[in-house]
Structure formats: structure tokens, C-alpha cells
């Protein structure tokens, strides 16, 4: 199945305008982008602020993986926030690790089954 149209549940222009302000003014905040094709959720991406660290997370629904949706979500999140971004990923999730590396994330820590990565500026 090829996804030809991806839209956001919320107005992306409003999100772009307010994201940096939202994260800088809140000690603990979450900003989520949800992606739909008609009524089917394709995935979501979020930025969470925990003290001085902004954490990125994405999820793509199983049946829509491999279609570039994760890359689209990552691109939108990275284009809408200019500060430092950190993420964690399961060591076995090679597809996600490769996506993060392609977006200039580097490994900064490794624990049991988790890799912590940070966006290289």
C-alpha cells in the first residue's frame, strides 16, 4: 500500500509557530504530531521536555512501516525545533537506528538493551 497523502491532525503551521516557545516556557511539556491517512493513524512523533533535556520519540503503525512515514515524522519534528534533542532506542531496532543516524544522531550511551542518541549539531 502506498500512502499518497499525509496530513496532521492539528494545523502544522500553528505547531511550527508555537513549538519552540512551548518547549522553552514549560519545565515538563509534550508536543505531539499525529499523522493520518483518512481515518487510519499512520504514526505519531513527539517532543517531551524533561528539565533541560528534550526527548524525541516516534511510532509508526505496523502495517505502514517501510513506507517512509518514520522519516517524514522525524523531518517534521527536527524542522520544528532548533535545540538539542535526545532519544533512546532499543538495540534490536536496526531500522530506527539507521533512520536516526541518517538524521545526524550519534550514540552517546549504551545500556543493556537501550542506546541513547543525541542530535549532532
Q: What is the per-residue DSSP string for 22-75?
A: HHHH-SEEEEEEEEEETTEEEEEEEEEEETTEEEEEEEE-GGGTTSSHHHHHHH
Angle between helices 94-102 and 69-79 (to 10 degrees): 40
* Cβ contact 103:87 at 8 Å: no
Residue 90 C-alpha cell reads as 532499543
Q: Which CATH architecture has domain 7-119?
A: 3-Layer(aba) Sandwich (3.40)
Task: Please indicate, yes or no, whether the overall pTM of this predicted structure exceeds 0.75.
Answer: no
**What is the per-residue pLDDT across 43-54, written as a single tens digit (0 to 9) for each?**
888 888 888 888
**What is the per-residue pLDDT across 84-112, written as a single tens digit (0 to 9) for each?**
999 999 999 999 999 999 999 999 999 99
Amino acid at each position: 500500500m502506498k500512502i499518497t497523502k499525509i496530513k496532521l491532525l492539528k494545523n502544522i503551521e500553528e505547531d511550527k509557530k508555537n513549538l519552540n516557545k512551548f518547549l522553552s516556557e514549560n519545565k515538563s511539556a509534550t508536543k505531539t504530531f499525529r499523522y493520518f491517512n483518512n481515518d487510519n493513524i499512520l504514526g505519531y512523533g513527539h517532543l517531551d521536555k524533561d528539565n533541560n533535556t528534550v526527548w524525541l520519540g516516534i511510532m509508526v503503525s505496523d502495517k505502514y512501516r517501510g513506507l517512509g512515514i518514520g522519516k517524514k515524522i522525524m523531518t517534521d519534528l527536527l524542522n520544528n525545533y532548533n535545540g538539542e534533542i535526545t532519544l533512546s532506542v532499543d538495540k534490536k531496532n536496526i531500522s530506527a537506528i539507521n533512520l536516526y543516524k541518517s538524521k545526524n544522531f550519534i550514540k552517546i550511551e549504551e545500556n543493556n538493551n537501550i542506546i541513547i542518541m543525541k542530535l549532532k549539531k
